Amino acid sequence: MRAVLVLGALLVLVSPVAGYGQGFQGGVRGAIKDSGGGIPRELQDRIFEPFFTTRDADRGSGLGLSVVHGIVTSHGGRIELHTAPGQGSEFAITLPVAERHELISLVQSAA
């Protein structure tokens, strides 16, 4: 099963992933894609750094991708950038699926 959502210039895709990572039965992959100019190669290694931005100071803090990266990796997932000059960018987030007993434990500890 695959879900597709178009939000203006953004395309959002969600699909299952078989055999994701060590010790996991599967996962889910979500991707957000735009049709912009892409991210130049010289900036790609820095985009997940806290406070890194190419925008003017009054247009953002540079924390968005850093925060997303931290949340995704803290849950055992990964975030990947796929980009090409003039062809837009895609951020793909893959997260492992929790086992049923893990979910029950999580719900019980939150109560």
**Residue given tokens 């951020």 in the structure block:** 91
pLDDT at 82 over 90: yes
Tell me the fold of 3-110. Answer: Heat Shock Protein 90 (3.30.565)
Inform me whether the pLDDT recorded for 77 exceeds 60.
Answer: yes
23 contacts: CB under 8 Å, gap ≥ 6 = none
Question: What mean pLDDT value characterizes the chain?
Answer: 79
- Strands (E) across the chain are located at 3-7, 10-18, 26-33, 78-83, 89-96
State the burial class of residue 66 (Cβ atoms within 10 Å of its Cβ: 0-12, 13-18, 19+): middle
Question: Domain locations in the chain?
Answer: 3-110
pLDDT in tens, 13-41: 777 777 655 555 678 888 888 888 999 99
Q: Give the pLDDT confidence score for residue 7 in this predicted structure.
A: 61
Residue 43's pLDDT is what?
92
Element of type H or E holding 70: helix 64-74
pLDDT at 40: 92
